[in-house]
Structure 1
Amino acid sequence: MSRFPFVRASLLAPAILLSAAFSAFAHTGESGLVLLLPTGYYLFGGTLAVTLSFCLIFLWPRTSLERLCKASLPLGTLRVPPRGAASFVVFAFLLALIWSGLFGSRDPRGNPLPVTVWSVWWGSFVFVQAVFGDLWHYLNPVIAPYRLIRRLAGREAPYLVYPEWLGFWPAVFAFGCFSWLELVDLAPDDPARLAWIVIFYLAVTLAGMVLFGADAWLRRADPFSIFLRFLAHLSPFEARPVAGAPALRLLYLVPPGARLFRLPALPPSGTLFVLMTLSSVSFDGLSRTFRWLDLAGINPLEFPGRSAVLEFNSLGLIGIWLGLAGAYFGAVRLGKWINPAWSRNPAAGLLIISIIPIALAYHFAHYLTILLMELQYVVQIYGDPLDRGWNPLALPPNFVTASFLNDYRSVRIIWSLQAGAVVAGHLVAVIAAHVLSGRLGGTGWRDPSGQVPLAMLMVLYTLFGLWLLAAPNIG
């Protein structure tokens, strides 16, 4: 089999995908937001950027990219807080939130627990983690009670060894339940119910840490610690330990995402976990579109509520995860066929690392508008945590409704930021896949050609993500 047909095919495939993308433009003109340019131009431009980047990176010497990823600029010395003390403060705050959920206002807009869990933590902190590094290592609220339990028990070593066969499956199951609660459940904002869910999560996590050890459980079974640790590798800041000074770190500026290449190949369960983090946020956008509701037989202009699509969305949440998993493993398998040298290495578990930037990009695109609105409620709720009518900041009654989100120009900027994030995430992913493929073996032209199927999948997913942003939806 000649190696050059693969090269020609790899260069022509993106062009074929671009031509196919034009057929999707006809489905994007019904958006409720009328942009200055036709929506199709945005889809075409974003898809073209990812496609051209693949063509350029395909021919770029991998060694130069690897040298760039190792570059760093020293910024100075950083003093880190004691891990136990920082965790204790967050744990105490969490206990106050749980108390508020159980005994405070029944109105989610008047209770600090729902808005803290969904907006401050899951919506906002994810971005903070990706920008500034692994802050969750210090702020994780389970560390302080775990150390207390371990001290009271008088035992340092775990009781059991974490089974290798268990892999990331507990995290896959837990993240699936969390996604279902957020996206499908009828009352994810109910304060008392959410408080009991948080209590249950704390109990299970502490039990797992005591039985199997904190490091083993948090790195393999706890979905939030795993996801946030992955995102920390995207940070442009790296804190390196100082010999003989545990409280000090040398802070460096590094290329964003450069530390991804230090991650080891993931087992199949870890690969499915990463795909779930992407598919869940993608489904959230899809489930709001008119086309999805039409498939469910529901008039989107008269949306009756989540109860009408409970079963349909439950199946859809699982279906998009399985569909994305099938597409990803199929692309990797095709890449192995093109480059047989990959067959001797865990290609799927290694290349999945390149999907992490895409997961962050979709998270940003999805939560940006939610956060801009919800974080305004945070100011109000934290100013009146007991729902007593307090207003220490003297906010006007229409503080939220008078926000800049109601300005048309701001909406255009927000949409452009969302679309830019989706494109940027895929661009970083293409570069990451190119560098990571160097660890899979193979030489000459046939080596990079194995990336073509995965790059094609990324281009199509870019088009899908941009369509989600532009498609008419119920908001």
Structure 2
Amino acid sequence: MLNRRGPGLITGMLPVLLAALFPVLITDPAMAHVSEQGLVLLLPTEHYITSGVLSVVASIILISLTPKHIVQRLFAPGTRRLPALPGRVCDTISVLSFLVLAGIVYVGITGPRDPLTNLLPLTIWIGFWVVLVSLVGLLGNVWRCLNPWSGLYRLLIGPEQQGLLPLPKRLGAVPGLLLFTGFSAFYIVDPAPQDPDRLAGFVIAYWTLTFAGMVIFGGPVWLARGEAFSILFDLISRVSPFGNGPRAVPGFPGWALVPSTPLPLSLATFSLVVLAMGSFDGLKETFWWLARIGVNPLEFPGRSAVVGSSLLGLVLAIIALFTVLLLAVWAGQKMANLGASQTQQLSLEMLFRSFAPTVLPIALGYHISHFMISFLVDGQYLLAVLGDPLATGANLFGLAQTRVTTGFLNTPDSVKTIWLTQAGIVVAGHILSVLVSHAVAMKLFSTPRRAALSQIPIGVFMVLYTLFGLWLLASPRGA
């Protein structure tokens, strides 16, 4: 890895997000796998980063010169709808998902303490957080049937149950936004999120809270506005070629991010929190960040020693991204409104609500890229544990833990292939965001000229974020 100067953090204030952070309890750190990236030192990453940034710049220029009718046709929803799963089938899958989750939690509590041999941490952090999030972004919202609440709710409460209390409309999806920010704090800040007992407590508490919210406010209402992962998967699935509806509509990736009406402000903000969380999760491991908080990266003292700085960094990352994108949208609004009549001018809030979700392809691309090494290594541990979930000596998949290999991280050729794949995914995510953002601008503004002008500051933001994302991949890490 190359030691480069990192970008500065842009600070600001967004106090409401402070309330989102769950209390972080101090405990002994759990074992966790740290991937080796030393051979990246041998790669000419400056050339690859330059090429990636220039690719994003080229996409901005090309889409700006593309006729409006072509852009609109590209991001129009398809005319063919794929059949949806029948409601009873979906409910059955959901009930089975609940039973599987209960079994995994039981194994987590009664199984070995090592996170690399316990089914619960591997399932949650690799199977759920790494694999499922990526699949939803590529294949559509399978979580709609897979979630472990809706089937049981309909079985016990009934599909028409409206809830005991109304959830105020003015809140929008703020409850889900706060819960997701709390989850981000648990994952990034907590000293031992992979500890089986600790993680089991978190899963049980979150499942119970969600089911209680469904009973109190109504199942569909709480899943749409209060359940953090249902909201996350609904947003991420909009990046996929199949959209986020119950009936998939194949089209160009990201077409569902060009809606007829802007998303509510809470969902637009949620989109930014997803990107900020992923970005800071990578940043906190770099030599640059550790130097900022006074930690020797070669003698990392453990997560317990950096709880305060990690919590502050997460908050500042959310604030910084919110502030920078808001400024970019504001500058674009001013440029697009030059010479326009009063009736043609659009409000800043409407523009922010429209453009904030266009960062989701960046978030998905960085998520896949960031966790690629974890998937390649810890995914082997997951397969090994799935082959013997009760630690009885079985080996259903023929992959014992003693055969888990990291050999592909020890040769320059394989490391180069992995790093270039990661970089390519990051660049592809940024290019798709550029295309989606321009398509949104074409829908909002009356002329291609105004649309192109509105995209200049946002394009600068996209280019700089590409540089930042690729820098994160190439930066040395000490935590």
The interval holding the TM-score normalised by the smaller chain is 0.7 to 0.9
The answer to whether the 8 A contact 2:68-2:448 is kept is no
Q: How far 1:264 moved relative to its partner?
A: 3.7
Unpaired runs of 5+ residues, structure 2, are 7-36, 338-344
Counterpart-to-counterpart distance in 2, 1:267 and 1:61: 29
Aligned equivalents of 2:392 and 2:433: distance in 1?
48
Give the % identical residues.
Answer: 39
- In structure 2, C-alpha distance between the alignment counterparts of 1:440 and 1:261, rounded to whole Å: 10
Q: Equivalent residue for 2:278?
A: 281
- Paired with 2:151 and 2:112, the residues of 1 have a C-alpha distance of 28
CA distance 1:223–1:95, shift in 2 (3 Å): same
Choose from 331, 335, 343 the match for 1:334: 331
C-alpha RMSD of matched pairs (Å): 2.5
Kept in 2: contact 1:101–1:192 (CA 8 A): yes
CA distance in 2, matches of 1:186, 1:59: 50
Instruction: Classify the secondary structure of the residue corresponding to 2:39.
Output: coil
1:24-58 per-position Cα deviation (integer Å, ceiling 9, x unaligned): 99548xx8334675211111111111112111212
Bigger strand fraction: 1
**Is the 1:111–1:386 Cα contact (8 Å) retained in structure 2?**
no
Aligned partner of 1:69 among 75, 79, 88: 75
TM-score w.r.t. the length of structure 1 is 0.86
Seen in structure 2, the aligned counterparts of structure 1 residues 422 and 149 have a Cα distance that, compared at 3 Å, is same
After the TM superposition, which of the residue ranges 277-286 and 31-40 deviates more from structure 2?
A: 31-40
Change (3 A) 1:353 1:182: same
Q: Contact 2:387/2:399 (CA < 8 Å) preserved in 1? A: no
Structure 1 unaligned segments of length 5 or more: list them.
1-23, 242-248
1:282 Cα deviation (Å)? 0.5
Letter in 1 for 2:239: L
Contact 1:345/1:440 (8 A) holds in 2? no
Q: Counterpart in 2 of 1:217? A: 222
**For the residues of structure 1 that align with 2:349 and 2:172, how far apart are their CA atoms?**
18
Which residue pairs with 2:192 in the alignment? Answer: 187
Matched, 1:96 2:103: yes
Corresponding position: 1:161 with 2:166: yes
Q: 1:133 to 1:295 in 2, by over 3 A?
A: same
Query: Which residue identity lines up with residue 109 of structure 2 in the other structure?
Result: L
Which of 110, 122, 146 is equivalent to 1:139? 146
Deviations 1:310-341, CA, capped at 9 Å, x for gaps: 11111001111101111011111111211232
Superposed CA offset, 1:382-428 (max 9, x none) = 12212334334443563113553444322211111111111111111
Give me the whole-angstrom Cα distance separating, in 2, the residues matched to 1:264 and 1:381. Answer: 46
Shift of 1:79: 5.7
From 230, 233, 237, the equivalent of 2:242 is: 237
Relative to structure 1, the CA distance from residue 157 to residue 452 in structure 2 (aligned partners, 3 Å threshold; closer, same or farther) is: same
Letter in 1 for 2:103: A
Indicate which of 170, 177, 182 corresponds to 2:182.
177
- Could you tell me which of 45, 48, 51 is aligned with 1:45? 51
Q: C-alpha distance in 2, partners of 1:318/1:55?
A: 34
Deviation at 1:263, TM superposition (A): 6.6
Instruction: Say if 1:218 and 1:331 are closer, same or farther in 2 by CA, change over 3 A.
Output: same
Distance 1:444 1:392 in 2: 59
Higher alpha-carbon deviation: 102-111 or 461-470: 102-111
1:291 aligns with 2:288: yes
Instruction: Say whether 1:228 aligns with 2:225.
Output: no
Matching residue within 108, 122, 125 for 2:132: 125
Residue 74 (structure 1) shift: 5.4
Alignment of 1:56-455 (within 5 A): 56-70=62-76, 72=78, 82-151=89-158, 156-237=161-242, 253-262=250-259, 264-340=261-337, 341-343=345-347, 346-395=350-399, 398-401=402-405, 403-443=407-447, 445-455=449-459
Q: SS at the partner of 1:266?
A: coil
The one-letter code of the counterpart of 2:451 is: D
Distance 1:275 1:470 in 2: 23
d(CA) in 1 for partners of 2:373 and 2:260?
A: 32
Displacement of 1:267 after TM fit? 2.9
Give yes or no for contact 2:384–2:401 (8 Å, CA) kept in 1.
Answer: no
Compared CA separation, residues 98 and 398, structure 1 to 2 (3 A): closer
Q: How far off is 1:280 after superposition? A: 0.7
User: Which amino acid is 1:360 matched to?
Assistant: L
- In the alignment, the residues of structure 1 paired with residue 291 and residue 244 of structure 2 have an alpha-carbon distance, to the nearest angstrom, of 50
Work out the CA distance in 2 between the residues paired with 1:448 and 1:402. 47
Instruction: State the shift of 1:109 in Å.
Output: 1.9
Bigger drift between 363-372 and 52-61 goes to 52-61
The amino acid that maps onto 1:323 is A
**How far is the alpha carbon of 1:117 from its aligned partner?**
0.5
CA distance in 1, matches of 2:433, 2:398: 46
> Offset at 1:261?
1.4
Q: How far 1:85 sits from its partner (Å)? A: 0.5
Contact 1:365–1:419 under 8 Å retained in 2: yes
Q: Which is further off, 284-293 or 259-268?
A: 259-268
AA in 2 matched with 1:97: I
